Structure 1
Amino acid sequence: MKLNSSAFAHNAMIPATYTCEGHDLSPPLEWSTPPNGTKSLVLVVEDPDAPDPAAPQRIWVHWLLYNLPPRACSLAQGVAEKDLPAGTLCGRNDWQRTAYGGPCPPIGCHRYFHKLYALDIRLPDLHHPTRAELQQEMKGHVIAEAELIGRYQKQH
């Protein structure tokens, strides 16, 4: 499985449009067909460099989606919750929101990991789980994964 964005290449800079300095839109994402046996997909967008890449203290979660249908192969730029593929559920990010929250690093150039997981089950409604709660439910059910890393440093 491969995960790509038409907005930025792997390990390249994320355009400001997708950050707190721009329109804070989710980037367009596309992926290849998941393996046979995939019942659902999970998308996690996180920053392991918070708050300072020179001394990271935590992983900051920007977006959590789960139960994306296996036939889905993309998410449009700035996709609204109501426009997500049918059956997709949202987790809670570290701003305590279910919507995408773009890069907004306080200091330095951070890495933003966009991770797509193919699961052999469809998860129950976890009622806006945190990353830890979602990972617990995924344990033992990941059959493939893909990763796209973008980088961002505030311009102002």
Structure 2
Amino acid sequence: MHPVEALIWPLGRTLRSVRPDAARSLAEAPEFRAARTIELTSPAYRDGEVIPARFCGPLIGKDLSPALAWSALPEGTVDLLLVFEDLDAPRSAPALHTIVAFAPRPSGIPEGALRTDDPTLRFLPTLFGRAKYAGPRPLPGHGTHRYRFHLYALDTPVDMAAVGSPDRLPAAVAGHVLASGTLAGTRTC
């Protein structure tokens, strides 16, 4: 255990019972509901398994985004929206790690693809104002955290600059979600 983690561990242990209401997940907003499903997978881990360390944040991994693969997108897909969240962060709502929009790619993205220097990616600031991929990083001592990637196929592009913040995202996608998929994983620190 890193010395910083050892210092924080008692706080995580104290907050172990503090968990958000999963119903407050951005993905639970009615504006994100879709009739069609996209199968979302990763060659790095299976749905519900432990997310490998290299995809995790500071003091655990390299903060690389995992490779993601998806099934055929519905006809009329103009934009993809990817949301990555922590369902167990000690706060009132799940913590949003990453929100990014991009033009459709036929079957997925490679490992490490979610980079801020890629001009085809449009990030929305999330946790602590970060507009980037932020890998899993549970509070040391807090126990196992559940994480989810959500992929949405949209029939219109999302202007992240106009959206500005995660709380305005549901209104921006209302009536435009053609299909969605989810990939879950866990991490303990």
TM range (shorter): 0.7 to 0.9
Unaligned runs of 5+ in 1: none
State the structure with more CA Rg.
Answer: 2
1:139-154 matched pairs, under 5 angstroms: 139-154=174-189
The size of the alignment, in residue pairs, is 147
- Aligned-pair CA distance for 1:83: 3.2
Which of 166, 170, 173 is the equivalent residue of 1:135?
A: 170
Change (3 A) 1:72 1:65: farther
User: What is the SS of the residue equivalent to 1:22?
Assistant: coil
Task: Kindly provide the amino acid, as one letter, of the partner of residue 159 in structure 2.
Answer: P
1:21-32 matched pairs, under 5 angstroms: 21-32=60-71
| 1:11 to 2:11 alignment | no
Residue identity (%): 35
Q: Stretches of 4+ moved more than 6 A in 1?
A: none
Which of 118, 126, 142 is the equivalent residue of 1:93?
A: 126
Q: For residues 88 and 116 of structure 2, what CA distance do their matches in structure 1 show?
A: 27
- Aligned-pair CA distance for 1:72: 4.3
User: What is the SS of the residue equivalent to 1:115?
Assistant: strand
Native 8 Å contact 1:116 1:145 kept in 2: yes
Which of 69, 84, 87 is the equivalent residue of 2:103?
A: 69
Native 8 Å contact 1:91 1:127 kept in 2: no
Task: Kindly provide the amino acid, as one letter, of the partner of residue 5 in structure 1.
Answer: S
**When you count strand as a share of all residues, which structure comes out higher?**
1
1:116-135 matched pairs, under 5 angstroms: 116-126=151-161, 129-135=164-170
